[in-house]
Amino acid sequence: MSLPFLNDFLSPYGLNVSEKKAEAFNRYMALLLVWSERMNLTAIREPRQIVIKHFFDSLTPALSPHFSPRGRLLDVGTGAGFPGVPLKIMFPSLELVLLDATKKRLMFLEAVIDALHLHDVELVHARAEDLAYDVRYREQFDQVTARAVASLPLLLEYTIPFVRIGGRAFLLKGPSVQTEFGDGQKIVSVLGAAFLSEERMFLPEEKAERRILWFSKQKMTPKRFPRKGLTKKGSSS
C-alpha cells in the first residue's frame, strides 16, 4: 500500500521506493497500527495519512543536499521511530541509534527492527540530558536529529552535544519555530555549532508546512551542556 503513495510523493524529488523497501514500510505500518491499540504511539490510523504525516515527513531531510545517506545517525526522542526508522529503510547504510526515555516505545521499536530485519540499529533507553555525558555517545555522530519534541533552544541542547566536529544536526519543526528562532540563535554558538540553513517543505495533499533546520558542529560543546532540569515546552508538530 505504501509503495504507490510514497513513490507518487517522492519521485518528483528523485527518490524511489523499491519493492523491498515498500514491503518494509508496509510491515512498519502494520506494526504501528497494532501496537497503537495497546499504547500511545500515534493517533493517526488511516494508512494514507500515516504515509504522509509519518513516512514522507520523516524522509524530508533526505531531500536536502545537507543530508548524508551514510555514517552514524542518532535520533533523539525517537518515539515510534520517526524520523530514524524511515530514513534507515530508505538508506540501509546508515548506522542508526534510536534514543528514547520510554521503555515501552523501545519494545515496539525492537519488534520493528526484528520484523524488518534491520541491521546496524541500536536502541538506547535513556534521557538525552543524561546520555550526552556518556563518552561512548558524546560527539560521536555524523548526524543527529529530533522531530518536534521540544522548543528549539531545548532541542539544540539535546542534540548538538552528540554531534562530532564537522557533523550536522537537523531538526524537524512546524512553522511556529519562527517564534523560537531568536532564543535558538543565542545558544547555538555557545554549544559549538553554527546555523547552516532553514528549508521549508509542504506535506502532500494537505500542504501542511514543515521546517527543517540544519546546524553544523564547529567546535566541542562545553562540558556543562546539556543542563539538567530543563522543561519540554514549545513543542510543535
Which residue ranges are tagged as binding site for S-adenosyl-L-methionine?
Answer: 77, 82, 100-102, 128-129, 147
Q: What contacts 78, CB < 8 A, 6 or more positions away?
A: 84, 85, 98, 99, 100, 105, 109
Q: What contacts 17, CB < 8 A, 6 or more positions away?
A: 2, 3, 6, 7, 10, 25, 90
Instruction: Give the Cα separation of 151 and 186 in Å (integer).
Output: 13
Query: Is the distance from CB of 123 to CB of 110 less than 8 angstroms?
Result: yes
Binding site, annotated residues: 77, 82, 100-102, 128-129, 147
Largest CA distance in the chain: 48
CA dihedral 150, 139, 100, 87 (to 10 degrees): 90
Instruction: Give the Cα separation of 158 and 54 in Å (integer).
Output: 22
